Amino acid sequence: MSPEETKVGKTERAEDQTGRTDASVESAQKPEPRVYRRRWLMVLLFSSYSLCNAYQWIHYGIISNIFMQFYTVSAFAVDWLSMVYMLTYIPFVFPVTWLLERKGLRVVALVAAGVNCAGAWIKVASSKPHLFWVSAFGQVACSIAQVFILGMPSHIAAVWFGPKEVSTACSIGVFGNQLGIAIGFLLPPILVPNIDDMDRLAYHISIMFYITAGVATLIFILVVFAFQDKPPVPPSHAQVALQNTPLSEYSYLSSIQRLLCNKPFVLLIISYGLNVGCFYAVSTLLNRMIIDHYPGEEVNAGRIGLTLVISGMVGSLICGVWLDKTKMYKQTTLAVYLLSFVGMVIYTFTLHLGHLWVVFITAAALGFFMTGYLPIGFEFAVELTYPESEGTSSGLLNCSAQVFGIIFTICQGKIIDVYGTLAGNIFLCVFLFLGTIITAFTKADLRRQTANLKSAAESEAVSVCLISEIYMVFKF
């Protein structure tokens, strides 16, 4: 081969290597996933308006006997002030998740905080004995706001947090909701005493409503000025892949169809609904169950509810951190579900013993596992359904929870009225046992985890290839 041919061959090889190097450089120059410190502000703001909304869900139920006396309505009517949260969620969840996909987190957050604030101010005008319908109207507004809140923890965690902290972030999002329920158990019995003077009672109720409205207004203002839709650069390889998918290629109806054809996810929908539905029933009817065995203990009923939820908040955080450390989604879900069933059995057969301290302990155990299950269910769902939207999968889970919550609350309430508290709680135990069995048969197909590992491996391979090709260019 002549010197000229050799020179031409080297030049062609160099150009070929340079072309491939340019492609590798272009791939390598795509922004690597990163996290921002402001992610903690986003989850804090979400937790704040979720807290305020959850507080308004339970603040009627924990002093149901007082509101029955004030408004001269039945126990069933007061129960519906809590159940309306469950009923409203079912028809609105699909439009809201569609809106989330089209408009993003900021629009959904603004609507949630704004409607929640409006509902709180409507209830301020209902502190008269003949204005039960106004109070119900305000509660309906708050229940609509809840639709924009309940399925968001996993979505906010995925959009703002990296793969090593996504479960912890989801548990913090759930934490806010549970803290609101805890405050809803604690404050109303303190702010609204059980007295016969209707004028004084109206004054105390109005004070409670004004405090709620003031807090809701402050949170709404903070959301308006501080809440952001998403970070400039996605926090994980899985989110990079999702955000690079054109919106025109996404079909909401097709996404729902794929989810409902996903057998492990369908089993999770059923088991999640059974567990959270039982929690809703226990929370809604807690005052009636405690007063039935411990008359005149409205304040302690609130404290028991507080214990139930506070222990659950601890359980949620521990389970979130555990999932981030171990990624053992199926094993953790099954263990926590089984212990929720055991906790419900113990609570059921110790409630009537006549010792309040026993009820506090059993309620703490029940809450730790039953509420601790919430972020686990969200995160397990996201793993099973990736690359489908976290908002859609969470929406379907919560829709199931609301359906079972309504059924269980109505059925358990009627059973308690006819057969007593023991029979009502046994009714819930049966369904928690059924949910444990379903969870055991749910296959752990961890798609998001697989996608993150695959993308990280590909990114590392591109970097190695880039270094190798640069070396070859300079060698020639």
3-state secondary structure 360-390: HHHHHHHHHHHHHHHHHHHHHHHHHHCCCCH
- Report the alpha-carbon distance of residue 342 to residue 106 in Å, rounded: 40
Query: In terms of pLDDT, which residue wins out, 94 or 3?
Result: 94
Q: Which of 52-66, 123-137, 152-166, 230-244 is predicted least confidently?
A: 230-244
Write down the pLDDT at residue 142. 93
Residue 413, domain member (yes or no)? yes
Tell me what the mean pLDDT of segment 39-61 comes to: 90
Question: Do the Cβ atoms of 85 and 149 come closer than 8 Å?
Answer: no
26 is a domain residue: no
When divided into structural domains, the chain yields a total of 1
Q: Report d(CA 262, CA 321) in Å as an integer.
A: 27
Instruction: Pick the closest to residue 101 from 143, 53, 152 (CA basis).
Output: 152
**Is residue 464 in a domain?**
no
* pLDDT tens digits, one per residue of 137-186: 999 999 999 989 887 887 888 888 887 787 788 778 877 888 888 888 88
CATH code of the domain containing 167: 1.20.1250.20
- Nearest one of 385, 404, 407 to 394, comparing CA atoms: 385
Interaxial angle between packed helices 356-385 and 447-475, expressed in degrees from 0 to 180 and rounded to the nearest 10: 50
Q: Pick the closest to residue 216 from 54, 44, 89 (CA basis).
A: 54
Omega cis (within 30) before 153: no
Mean of pLDDT values over 16-23: 46
Contacts of 40 (CB under 8 A, 6+ apart): none
Q: How far apart are the two ends of the chain, measured CA to CA in Å?
A: 18
| Most confident by average pLDDT, 2-6, 114-118, 127-131 | 114-118
Place of tokens 């409902």: 260
Exposure class string for 48-85: b at 16+ Cβ within 10 A, else e: bbbbbbbbbbbbbbbbbbbbebbbebebeebbbbbbbb
Residues in the chain: 476
More confident residue, 245 or 204: 204
For 214, other C-beta atoms within 10 Å of its C-beta total 14
d(CA 278, CA 430): 10
Instruction: Give the pLDDT of residue 465.
Output: 60
Please give the structure tokens belonging to residue 39.
Answer: 């992610």
Q: Determine, yes or no, domain membership for 454.
A: no
Q: Domain span at residue 179?
A: 33-445
Helix (H) or strand (E) holding 266, with range, is helix 263-293
Q: Quick one: average pLDDT of 404-423? A: 89
Q: Which amino acid is at 466?
A: L
7 in any annotated domain? no
- The count of other CB atoms within 10 Å of the CB of residue 311 is 25
